[in-house]
């Protein structure tokens, strides 16, 4: 199974009757178990592409097949379920609710998925242990270091046991030591079978991935 994008275009309407073509006929295939880096300068369309892959946004035209399913033919409810079950998101700015605890943050996708509360605590504890942050369980997210916050965010991304991990500049706000830790975690997850897509500006990070694609002016090159 795989992610298949066929001639994906994304245009934004600018308020001056002009269109901004952000993605131009992007075609690519991402196979199960791949670890892939998406490079490109600021504004190239990297986040836009990741949002389309993660069903946070839809393309203006083109086809998207996710494990054989034609995403453009799915209802909004189907897409919401697919997003919650298939994808774990890791963002540069962590995306945590700062005045809630670590365990609340990690369990949130399960709450949204209407899972029973006793199962939530068990699953959250398990993911926190995997990330080596179980002792932070009852701390407020705002009191953590950047590296700790990103490990909480990865624990949250894993809580639904998604097939795909989508990481948008996951080390962008971290120092080099923490970047290394986060990169090793993402590589380990890939070894354990997750398909991992990492957006990065950093050539060193990209070089650790099995495959590198570059977006330049909305066009993709391998």
* Interface with Mg ion (CB under 5 A): 47
50 or 183: whose CB is closer to ligand ATP? 50
* Of 90 and 131, CB closest to ligand ATP: 90
**What residue ranges bind ligand ATP (CB under 6 A)?**
12, 20, 22, 40, 42-48
109 binds, among Mg ion, ligand ATP, none (CB under 5 to 8 A by kind): none
CA distance 105 to 123: 13
- Which of ligand ATP, Mg ion, none sits in contact with 43, Cβ below 5 to 8 A by type? ligand ATP
What's the CA gap between 144 and 129, in Å, rounded? 17
Compute how many other C-beta atoms are within 10 angstroms of the C-beta atom of residue 181: 16
22 contacts which partner out of Mg ion, ligand ATP, none, CB within 5 to 8 A by kind? ligand ATP
Distance CA 134, CA 35 (A): 27
62 or 113: CB nearest ligand ATP: 62
186 neighbors 198 (Cβ within 8 angstroms): yes
Task: For the CB of residue 19, give the shortest distance to ligand ATP in the complex, in Å.
Answer: 10
77: Cβ contacts below 8 Å, ≥ 6 apart: none
Which residue number, 22 or 36, has a Cβ lying nearer to ligand ATP? Answer: 22
Tell me the residue number closest to Mg ion, measured at CB: 47
Adjacent-strand bridge partners of 165? 88, 196
Q: Tell me how far, at minimum, the Cβ of 47 lies from Mg ion, in Å.
A: 3
CB of 172 to ligand ATP, least distance (A): 9
Q: Where would I find the H helices in 54-100?
A: 76-86
Give the nearest distance from C-beta 135 to Mg ion in angstroms: 33
Torsion of CA 122, 126, 127, 131, to 10 degrees: 150
């Amino acid at each position: 199974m795989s992610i298949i994008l066929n001639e994906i275009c994304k245009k934004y309407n600018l308020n001056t009757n002009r269109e901004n073509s952000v993605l131009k006929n992007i075609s690519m295939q991402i196979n199960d178990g791949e670890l892939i880096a998406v490079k490109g300068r600021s504004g190239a369309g990297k986040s836009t592409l990741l949002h389309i892959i993660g069903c946070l946004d839809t393309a203006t035209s083109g086809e998207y097949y996710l494990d054989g399913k034609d995403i453009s033919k799915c209802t909004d409810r189907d897409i919401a379920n697919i997003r919650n079950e298939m994808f774990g998101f890791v963002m540069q700015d962590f995306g945590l609710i700062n005045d809630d605890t670590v365990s609340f943050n990690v369990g949130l996708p399960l709450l949204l998925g209407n899972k029973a509360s006793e199962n939530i605590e068990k699953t959250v504890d398990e993911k926190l242990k995997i990330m080596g942050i179980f002792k932070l369980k009852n701390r407020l997210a705002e009191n953590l270091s950047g590296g700790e916050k990103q490990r909480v965010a990865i624990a949250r991304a894993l809580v639904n046991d998604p097939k795909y991990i989508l990481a948008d500049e996951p080390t962008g706000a971290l120092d080099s030591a923490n970047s290394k830790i986060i990169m090793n975690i993402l590589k380990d997850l890939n070894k354990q079978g997750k398909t991992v897509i990492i957006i990065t500006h950093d050539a060193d990070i990209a070089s650790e991935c099995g495959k590198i694609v570059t977006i330049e002016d909305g066009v993709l090159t391998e």
